[in-house]
Amino acid sequence: MHSRTLWIIWALLVAGATLAGFQAQPVWGENGWLIPALVLMWAITIVGFVRPLPAEVVMPRVLRPLRRWPALLWLIVLLYLCLTIGVWLVQYQPTYGRPLAPVESCYLLAVAWGLVFLLAYGMKRQTVRAMGQKLGKSWLSGVLMTVTTIVVLFAGAEAYLRLFYITTDGYGFTAMNYHWYQNFYWNQLNSLGFRDHEPSPDDPQQPFQRVMVVGDSFAVGHGIDNIDDSFPQILERTLGDGYDVDLVAKSGWDMNDYLPWLSGYPLKPTIVVLSYYLNDIDYLLTGERSPDANFDFPEDPTLSAFILNFFTPNFVYYNLLQFTSTTRTQNFQISLVDAHLDADLWTKQSAAFNKFIAWNQENGTRLIVLLWPQIRAVEASIPATAKIKAYFEEQRVEVVDMTDILKDQTPAQMVINRYDAHPSTAASQLAADAVYRQISEPPPSASNQP
């Protein structure tokens, strides 16, 4: 290597990789490559510094054939980058919202060190000029340029999605959705396992009303990065002193999940807000009746792994090819509405409603149902939401129907993104305001009473 600057960069890379490697000591057992790689890097680097002769004679013999055929060197460098970066993406899945682990930093610095070795070790200026002349005359240069352009575009798309598109989809299929949960959901759980702040303990000296929000992904703030922007947290701030709003909700829950978790919660509420969305009947829909049956999943294991581990094909396969399908979306929407109109399914779901109502009556709690339509299909949801609302009102249960609130809103502003129809922060604010108004009103005298 004939450039002092490159020598310094090379040395800094191996030193940085070593420092990061020592910081990664707790995971050495899981990364058996780390110590041997650092030893090899230091050995080659020291040879280059201390013994110029081996650096000038022995090592170039390994690289000299590549310098004679620069197109081959270009291909090897391209394959090296694709392989090493691909391994990093698959093994560690870097995304926005998650800082690099020390082992990742060590790995990437080692990759950069190896790249400098391939491109510059033992390289002279006249060799560089000769290689450039050969590439200019070779027909392979055009092919390699095309392949390189494709790789760069793929890498750019992958980087963009990982940096700026860690968000949810409406069905939980995509890699972006999975890593949103890794970065913004699982690390925001309280000691009880819910995406909520710690509940305030009961205090006989300063009594307050405990509001329990029970629900699924609509209640937990699916797609909302900051839990303080979800409607239970907004409601707690709006209610102010004298209230504590606690969350008993998890993504994927259905109506059959709510009562066991509510009754098992260690603190007793004075008000229960049931956040009900039409897919809370999913547990009764199986086989071809499942709404997820409207979507296709890759069966080939190689294709499945490629789509699963890389965001670009994942985005294309799920978002562009499936979520933009009007037919699939309409079928999904219709299946949830039709489920509530089916006599057999309604009998089973209303039985679950009755058990939930009875628990609140037995415990003397005020029950309020927050009823969500499909935000992008509010009008189409009315046959189901109207039936649900009428049923609860017949049972003398208070209902906050978001149908009336959302039907005059711009749908694009009420949802997380074009592929995810969960409530946005704006819709969460509207829901919190509506529930606040309902709580502020005196409850019906006989509501929820045995």
Q: What is the pLDDT of residue 289?
A: 67
Residue 446 is predicted with a pLDDT of: 46
Distance CA 219, CA 276 (A): 9
Whether the model clears a pTM of 0.85, i.e. scores above it, the answer is no
Place of tokens 């082992």: 103
Q: Given this model, what pLDDT does residue 447 score?
A: 45
The predicted pLDDT at position 330 comes to: 65
DSSP string, 81-150: HHHHHHHHHHHH---TTSPPPHHHHHHHHHHHHHHHHHHHTT--HHHHHHHHHHHHH-THHHHHHHHHHH
Using DSSP's 3-state secondary structure scheme, residue 272 falls into: strand
Q: How far apart, in whole angstroms, are the C-alpha atoms of residue 335 and residue 317?
A: 23
- Strand ranges across the sheet with 271-277: 243-249, 209-215, 271-277, 366-372, 398-401
Predicted pLDDT at 47: 77
pLDDT tens digits in sequence order for the chain, 450 residues long = 556 788 889 899 999 999 999 999 999 999 999 999 999 999 888 877 765 545 455 555 666 777 788 888 899 999 999 999 999 999 999 998 888 999 999 999 999 999 998 888 767 777 788 888 888 888 888 999 999 999 999 999 999 999 999 999 988 889 999 999 999 999 999 999 999 999 999 988 888 999 999 999 999 999 999 999 999 999 999 999 999 999 999 999 999 999 999 999 999 999 999 999 999 999 998 776 666 666 778 888 999 999 999 999 999 998 887 777 666 666 676 788 999 999 999 999 999 999 999 999 999 999 999 999 999 999 999 999 999 999 999 999 999 999 999 999 999 999 999 889 999 999 999 999 999 999 998 887 644 444
* Three-class secondary structure of residue 449 per DSSP: coil
Alpha helices in 165-248 (DSSP H): 175-184, 217-220, 231-239
Cα–Cα distance for residue pair 58/74, rounded to 1 Å: 22
The domain spans of the chain are 4-162, 194-299+320-440
- Give CA angle at 380 (379, 385), nearest 5°: 80
pLDDT of 125 reads 77
User: How far is Cα 342 from Cα 351, in angstroms, rounded to an integer?
Assistant: 14
User: What is the rounded CA–CA span in Å between residue 138 and residue 153?
Assistant: 24
pLDDT at 4: 76
Listing DSSP states for 355-417 in one string gives HHHHHHHHTT-EEEEEEE--GGGHHHHHHHHHHHHHHHHHTT-EEEEHHHHHTTS-HHHHEEE
90-97: long-range contacts, CB 8 A cutoff, minimum separation 24: 90/309, 90/310, 93/179, 93/309, 94/162, 95/162, 95/163, 95/166, 95/179, 95/182, 95/183, 96/162, 96/163, 96/164, 96/166, 96/183, 97/166, 97/179, 97/180, 97/183, 97/184, 97/225
Strands (E), 153-256: 209-215, 243-249
Q: What is the pLDDT of residue 326?
A: 64
Kind plus residue range of the DSSP H or E element containing 255 = helix 255-264
Backbone angles phi, psi at 188, to 5 degrees: -120, 20
H or E segment to which residue 79 belongs: helix 70-92
pLDDT at 128: 80
Residue 109 neighbours by CB under 8 Å, 6+ apart: 13, 14, 16, 17, 20
Q: How far apart are CA 423 and CA 402, in angstroms?
A: 11
pLDDT of residue 131: 82
Asked if 447 and 360 touch (Cβ cutoff 8 Å), the reply is: no
What pLDDT score was predicted for residue 59? 55
Element (H, E) at 277: strand 271-277
Cβ neighbours for 370, distance < 8 A, ≥ 6 positions apart: 215, 273, 274, 275, 276, 400, 402, 431, 434, 435
Output the pLDDT for position 33: 92
Q: What is the CATH number of domain 194-299+320-440?
A: 3.40.50.1110
